[in-house]
A = this chain, B = another copy of it.
Amino acid sequence: MSGTGIGLKSGHDIREELAENAAKVDAFMLGELRGDRPAALYEASRHLIEAGGKRLRPYMTVKACEAVGGDPVDAVPYAAALELLHNFTLVHDDVMDHDDLRRGRPTVHVMFGVPMAILAGDLLFAKVYDIMARHAPRGVSPADVVRSFDSTTQATLTLCQGQALDMEFSDANEVSEDDYVFMVGAKTGALFRACAQVGAIVGGGSVEHVEALGRFAWDAGIAFQIVDDVLGLTADEDALGKPVGSDIREGKKTLVVIYALKHSEKQHREALLRALGVEDADDDTIVKAVEALRASGSIQHAKDTAKRYMDSAYVMLERLPDSDAKRDLRALVDYFVKREY
């Protein structure tokens, strides 16, 4: 239970830990989505869940619970509920962004049509509160259930704002780095924060520890999203589960793009603009745009920025007493910010 283990855990260990937790969370989620009238609605609501995923958010919930002295088993239903919330937003985002692939599978609206995808998302969202009302961990007071509900709700409101800003920025000529960080905080940081806060609340954490874990997760979420944006340019399609460069074709103003538009030389800027927001840009044009981003230093800039948020997250984590769970949370951020595929 001492802090000496920090940093010693290998990437392999955290992946195993994640997989173990994901199996529990997945079993719980699928058990909750076993409705049958009408069958298509429940199939649509399970579709994305069945594609699997790393389940970083529920891991955050379970470990936050443990880090404040709670029993991590108690946190699984709430962790699963928050992963359903994440999946609800993905299902709706894919409709809004016209994305056809996610986690290597056709998206819900491609499989079941837009109306059923909207409805499946709504059902997943309602299930979040349904699970939280029915599966309050032993010993958690109704007041703390309400706090968990509220943390979840605030995250969702912020997520809606973040997604609206993301759509707005795609059409905007100029977006600042501050705008981007605000948007990413809203789209990713807010839900990570809720995951950590809810875990800490059901674990019986003090107000200070709930706050510190929330701020830790917010910064970690921003770091994570920046890295995800970079990987969307540099990883291969099999690892991504979607085409490389789709963010560029959609005109997404990621940090990489914002920095490059402002700081790169004319030739790199032009190579980028030939692909940015051009939905039918061919693969060669995308490859050249990514090369230009790399040459302009904007990919490195994004990685450096992610590292800054990661360090800031670690500072918050230090407000908690040393424990295995604290070490795991640190290893989680370390792993997902440094991952490359």
Taking the complex as formed, is A315 at the interface, i.e. its CB lies under 8 A from any CB of chain B?
Answer: no
Interface of A is mostly: helix
How many copies of the chain does the oligomer comprise?
Answer: 2
Contacting B at CB under 8 A, from A130-172, are 130, 133-134, 141-143, 145-146, 149-150, 152-154, 156-157, 160-161, 163-165, 167-168
Q: How large is the interface on A (under 10, 10 to 19, 20 to 34, 35 or more residues)?
A: 35 or more
Contacting B at CB under 8 A, from A115-135, are 115-116, 118-119, 121-123, 125-127, 129-130, 133-134
Are A35 and B161 interface neighbours, CB within 8 A?
yes
Are A161 and B37 interface neighbours, CB within 8 A?
yes
Q: CA of A92 to CA of B123 in the docked complex: distance in angstroms?
A: 12
Contacting B at CB under 8 A, from A188-211, are none
A95 surroundings in chain B (CB, below 8 A): 114-115, 118
Are B160 and A119 interface neighbours, CB within 8 A?
yes
A150 surroundings in chain B (CB, below 8 A): 129-130, 133-134
Are A167 and B37 interface neighbours, CB within 8 A?
no
Residues of chain A at the chain B interface (Cβ within 8 Å): 35, 37-38, 40-41, 92, 95-97, 114-116, 118-119, 121-123, 125-127, 129-130, 133-134, 141-143, 145-146, 149-150, 152-154, 156-157, 160-161, 163-165, 167-168
